Copies of this chain bind each other. A is one copy, B any other.
């Protein structure tokens, strides 16, 4: 095949991302609240901080790829101290991502932009970086859960 054939559509990519986000939501849910905010290994962040990082990336990345405007997450995350509040913000981001997605102009996936004024990459690569970063740190959350004797949700279930 030629190297430029389509392998992935916009719709499939959104479904892929939201599938991963559903799994991450289950990981947040299964953490006991005190461990979500207080447990870590090897000097790393607690999983709540990782989840906040995902929130800081998800909607702002979609918005930036859609519009070329790179604005930080609009909510206040520093004061978030409960699982309920994280899950509420998570569900809001799910809706926002679904709403922004169809507004992304086709050419923006290939177009190189400086994400958040700092990271020069194509739209698709910036999006994949966000997804991969979530998979990476969520895998770390799985280790926290195992170390706590808690069974994580199945990785393949989205």
User: Which A residues are closer than 8 A to B by beta carbons?
Assistant: 1-13, 16, 20, 41-44, 102, 104-106, 109, 124-125, 128-129, 132-133, 135-140, 142-149, 155-156
Contacts and interface: CB of A to CB of B under 8 A. Distances in A.
A9 to B, nearest CB: 5
A148 B147 CA distance: 15
A10 B11 contact: no
Nearest to A147: B42
Contacts of A136: 135-136, 138-139, 142, 155
A155 B5 CA distance: 28
Contacts of A147: 41-42
Classify the interface of chain A: helix, strand, loop or mixed: helix
Instruction: Sort A-B residue pairs by CB-CB distance and give the 4 closest, nearest first.
Output: A42-B146, A139-B139, A3-B11, A6-B6
A6 B144 CA distance: 38
Contact of A105 (B1, B12, B102): B1
B104 A43 contact: no
A3 B7 contact: no
Nearest to A156: B129
Contact of A140 (B109, B124, B143, B148): B143
A28 to B, nearest CB: 16
A139 B129 contact: no
